[in-house]
Amino acid sequence: MIDGVEEIPYHTNRNDYYLCDNLTIAVYRYSETKNMKVAIYLGEPIHLFILSGFLGSGKSTLLKELAENEKATGKKVAVIMNELGEYSVDSEIIGSDMTILELLDGCICCTMKDELEMQLLELYRNEQPDVIFIEATGVAHPVDILDACLSPVLAPYMVVKPLITVVDSKRWVHRAELSPPVQKLLEEQVKYADHVLLNKADTVSPQEIDFLQQTIKEINPTAQQSITTYAKTEITDMEHARKIGDLKDHESLHVVHHLRIQSMTHTFQSEVDRSDFEDWLEKTSSSLFRLKGFLRFTGEKETFLIQLAYGKPFMLPLPINLPMNIVIIGEDLDKEQITEELSELETKEGSQYAPINNL
Ligand SMILES: Nc1nc2c(ncn2[C@@H]2O[C@H](COP(=O)(O)OP(=O)(O)OP(=O)(O)O)[C@@H](O)[C@H]2O)c(=O)[nH]1
């Protein structure tokens, strides 16, 4: 018997993933006892790059460039490509010498969230890449992509790198010709980026580049900007996100620096008083885009799945024991204060079990 792991009160015959309201829980068979166990497979943290940008802006071109740079430094690279269509032209272009997974005919930020979580989990468990690049569809919203990538099970073992938005310079200059919803999407993709690539610089004049830089700065004053042709850039140009703590030691706080959209994962060390937590949620919810994870309340035997989206909280009791990881996504999060507030909610009873290594 492994300490701290509870048996799941149902039986399945194989290693499996258990999908629960959008969240993926890894379920492994522990062969000595023949019982199913819930656990997290712990390996090296994986660096996750999310590439957003409107259709045809140059995301695949950038992906190919960055992936090749990373491979040249000896890193193991995996790619997840999301396309709205049923066939991915881009993955053909990227080449066959790295793991490429396709999510076709839907968008990871809405209908394909579960599939994305499954693919990330599978990559994490089976391939252990150093870096994963996710190319979103041209119409995905960066907040939703980040949300889809950060399941509470995996988030502590991922280092989310700066969110990169690729802009088609010419299209941007002429964006007033687009429909208002498309214009809004382009602006949102820029607004929430950490790094904006002004790509296709060869298609505009130097004066237009100046104008472009200025308008992008007005929408997102903190994003780093690069001017590129055929997305020629280096990953080191974008290396301005750093994790806090050492994830190999299962550091509970996972923070994405310099992101306008920030995420953090808090791991509760012990159970929490339910009404204190509900008060905290009520007080804080309006400032969060998203909160999701697992929690146990003092005096209650189930683990609760906690979800907060668009200010509305949702709690579902689960008949299994899970690590108490909560993922939080928001803008300008005061992470230290949130960590402090969440730690204060702990009642010091029913401590968090240690995740298991080497399953
Ligand atoms: N002239 C010019 N063409 C470019 C540049 N970068 C990319 N392209 C071309 O633009 C087209 C679209 O590039 P992709 O990299 O496929 O764009 P994407 O954003 O992945 O496209 P979707 O996946 O359809 O959204 C391709 O034909 C590229 O070769 C550039 O800097 N200048």
Report CA 42 to chain centroid distance, whole Å. Answer: 17
Contacts (Cβ under 8 Å, ≥6 apart) of 217:
225
Q: Report how far ligand 1's centroid is from the alpha carbon of 359 (Å).
A: 43
Q: Which residue's alpha carbon is at the smallest distance from atom 12 of ligand 1?
A: 56
**Choice from 61, 92, 186, 233 to test ligand 1 binding pocket (greatest atom count within 8 A of CB):** 61
Backbone angle region of 125, left / alpha / beta, with phi > 0 → left and psi within -120 to 50 → alpha? alpha
Q: Which domains does the chain have, with CATH numbers?
A: 46-238 (3.40.50.300)
Counting from 1 in the atom list of ligand 1, the atom nearest the Cα of 229 is 31
CA separation for the pair 50, 145 (Å, rounded)? 8
ipTM above 0.95, yes or no: yes
Any residues with Cβ below 6 Å from ligand 1, and which? 53, 55-61, 90, 138, 199-200, 202-203, 229-231
Q: Report how far ligand 1's centroid is from the alpha carbon of 57 (Å).
A: 5
Counting from 1 in the atom list of ligand 1, the atom nearest the Cα of 64 is 15
Q: Report how far ligand 1's centroid is from the alpha carbon of 350 (Å).
A: 53
Between vectors from CA 325 to CA 321 and to CA 326, what angle results, nearest 5°?
125
**With contact defined as beta carbons under 8 Å apart, do 78 and 99 qualify?**
yes
Counting from 1 in the atom list of ligand 1, the atom nearest the Cα of 63 is 15
Q: Report how far ligand 1's centroid is from the alpha carbon of 56 (Å).
A: 5
Rg value, the chain, Cα: 21
Q: pLDDT 10s per residue in the chain (359 long)? A: 334 334 443 333 334 444 443 344 444 433 334 444 444 444 567 888 999 988 789 888 899 899 988 888 999 999 988 876 555 555 555 666 788 887 776 777 767 777 887 788 788 777 888 999 998 877 777 777 887 787 776 776 788 888 899 999 998 999 898 878 778 888 988 988 889 999 999 999 999 999 999 999 999 998 999 999 999 987 666 665 433 222 233 222 223 333 455 678 888 888 999 999 999 999 998 888 778 888 899 988 888 888 886 667 888 887 777 778 888 877 778 889 999 999 999 876 655 443 332 22
Q: Which residue's alpha carbon is at the smallest distance from atom 25 of ligand 1?
A: 55
For 250, which DSSP code?
T
Counting from 1 in the atom list of ligand 1, the atom nearest the Cα of 83 is 23
The crossing angle, in degrees rounded to 10, of helices 335-344 and 274-284 is 160
**Three-state DSSP class for residue 49:** strand
CA separation for the pair 121, 129 (Å, rounded)? 11
**Three-state DSSP class for residue 125:** helix
Q: Which residue's alpha carbon is at the smallest distance from atom 6 of ligand 1?
A: 230
**With contact defined as beta carbons under 8 Å apart, do 267 and 125 qualify?**
no
Exposed, middle or buried, 89 (CB in 10 Å: 0-12/13-18/19+)? exposed
Sign of CA dihedral 123, 125, 126, 128: positive
